[in-house]
Homo-oligomer: A and B are copies of this chain.
Amino acid sequence: MPTESRPRAPDAESRAERKERTRRAILDAALALAADSNLAAISLRQVAKQVGVVPTAFYRHFGSLELLGLALVDESFRSLRLMLLDVWRHAPEYRDFIDGSLPIVAQHVRENRTHYAFIARERVAGPPRVREAITHEIELITRELSTDIARSGAAEHYSSTDIALLADLIVSFVVTMAERLVEDPDSEARILAQARTQLRMLLVGALSWRSREPAAGAEARDD
């Protein structure tokens, strides 16, 4: 039996399509409102008004504002992880890692500014469940970076716990950098240039801190 018995109108949307469209509109409206600086906790009614729908309709899609927040966290980190997969795949060498990865991260922040603004805000000021979800996602990324560092063999003389600490150091720094890019998008070039130098300070030093002789590429610097 066919799913739709009367596919008369070719440009018409199915009921499921319309629902998904409204759901997306709610997510986007929530992001847009979260990007505005006023409130950390966004208002259900504001979201509904922006979507052009009555407040009650919200509950057809999300049981509460908190669940909407969790959905946004999920969505934000899904795209972020895709980006990171791409970064790590194309970064076998550390000199390349910094110069190659930072612009990709910056581009992703630029193209998903509302997501990052939401995450940055809710990470410290959101409802507890949302905060926990964000913290957990960042921990997962740190863990993945740890295994990636270990697999790359860049830190042979590191214990596994020290590798984890190094990964945490890098992730924390990038989180801070992303926050700055969100806060002041016009200064992207300056923020990136500074972060490039700082990450090099951090990595070149950290990768040689336990060894007596410099690690591979540690003393290579030409500018």
User: Given A124-B179, A207-B205, do A197 and B165 touch, yes or no (CB 8 Å)?
Assistant: yes
B40 touches A197 (CB 8 A): no
Q: In the complex, what's the smallest C-beta–C-beta distance from A143 to chain B, in angstroms?
A: 15
Residues on the B chain within 8 Å of A172, using CB: 172-173, 176
Stretch of A6-14, A107-115, A208-216 at the chain-chain interface: A208-216
Q: Could you give, for residues 92-135 of chain A, a 1 whenever the CB lies within 8 Å of some chain B CB and a 0 otherwise?
A: 00000000000000000000000000001101110110010000
B201 touches A169 (CB 8 A): yes
User: Given A40-B39, A172-B176, do A209 and B198 touch, yes or no (CB 8 Å)?
Assistant: no
A33→B158 CA distance, assembly (Å):
44
Within 8 Å by CB of A208, from B37, B203, B205, lies B205
Does A149 interact with chain B (Cβ within 8 Å)? Answer: no
Closest B residue by C-beta to A37: B128
